[in-house]
A and B are shown apart, each in its own frame.
Chain A
Amino acid sequence: AQTVTQSQPEMSVQEAETVTLSCTYDTSENNYYLFWYKQPPSRQMILVIRQEAYKQQNATENRFSVNFQKAAKSFSLKISDSQLGDTAMYFCAFMKQKGSQGNLIFGKGTKLSVKP
Chain B
Amino acid sequence: DSGVTQTPKHLITATGQRVTLRCSPRSGDLSVYWYQQSLDQGLQFLIQYYNGEERAKGNILERFSAQQFPDLHSELNLSSLELGDSALYFCASSSKVGTGGIGYGYTFGSGTRLTVV
State the A residues within 8 Å of B (CB).
33, 35, 37, 42-47, 50, 52, 91, 93, 95, 97, 100-109
Kindly provide the distance from the CB of B85 to the nearest chain A CB, expressed in whole angstroms. Answer: 18
Asked if B111 and A102 sit within 8 Å, CB to CB, the answer is no
Stretch at the interface among B14-22, B62-70, B75-83, B100-108: B100-108
A-chain residues with CB within 8 Å of residue B94 when the two chains form the complex? 102
- Rounded to whole Å, the gap between the CB of A61 and the closest CB of chain B is 12
A-B contact number at CB 8 A: 63
Measured CA separation A35–B92 after assembly (Å): 15
The docked-state distance in angstroms from the alpha carbon of A106 to that of B58 is: 13
* CB within 8 Å of A: which B26-47 residues: 31, 33, 42-43, 45
Q: Which residue of A lies closest to B43 (CB)?
A: A106
Query: Do B105 and A104 touch (CB < 8 A)?
Result: yes
Contact-size category for B: 20 to 34
Task: Write the residues of chain B forming the contact surface with A, with a CB cutoff of 8 angstroms.
Answer: 2, 31, 33, 42-43, 45, 48, 50, 55-56, 58, 88, 90, 92, 94, 97-98, 102-108, 110-111, 113
Complex contacts, A50 vs chain B, CB 8 Å: 103-105
Q: Do A104 and B45 have beta carbons less than 8 Å apart?
A: yes
Interchain CB contact under 8 A, A103 and B43? no
